Amino acid sequence: MYTITKEFSFSASHTLCGLPPGHPCARLHGHNYRVQVELRAATLVPPGFVRDYRELNRFRDYLDAEVDHRHLNDLFGDEGVTAEALAERFYAWCRQLWPEVSAVRVSETDKTWAEYRP
């Protein structure tokens, strides 16, 4: 099995609802997100790719136009703004274009990652 991964980034704010009083993530805050899109295939297409990395720039264009420097609660609702929920949402977006998508990872900090892999 062949695997490729491409990383993207965007900045956005959110508020995590339902947390205990005083939890810092319950306040309005933001992150410089990193998103990794992974594609897998058993065979390669000419000239020897899982998929041309340049095709994945459509996801970058989506992030830049629709997500970057936005308030995620306004875009996705209060339940859809955790790193886990974003990973699943971005997976679904990518899967519509590229059936080889096997996972999407979302990072809010250098040390934390959430992954959606069906």
User: Domain map of the chain by residue range?
Assistant: 2-112
Phi/psi class of residue 103: alpha, beta or left (left: φ > 0; alpha: ψ in -120 to 50)?
Answer: beta
Dist. CA 72–CA 44, nearest whole Å:
36
Q: Tens digit of pLDDT for each residue in 79-102?
A: 999 999 999 999 999 999 999 999
Topology of domain 2-112, CATH: Tetrahydropterin Synthase; Chain A (3.30.479)
pLDDT of residue 63: 98
Q: What is residue 11's predicted lDDT score, i.e. its pLDDT?
A: 98
- Determine contact, residues 31/108, Cβ cutoff 8 Å: yes
For residue range 12-64, list pLDDT tens digits in order. 999 999 999 899 999 999 999 999 999 999 999 999 999 999 999 999 999 99
Give the mean model confidence (pLDDT) for residues 61-81: 97
Whether pTM > 0.75 for this model: the answer is yes
Q: Using alpha carbons, select from 3, 96, 2, 76 the residue that is nearest to residue 33.
A: 76
Which pLDDT value is given to residue 48? 97
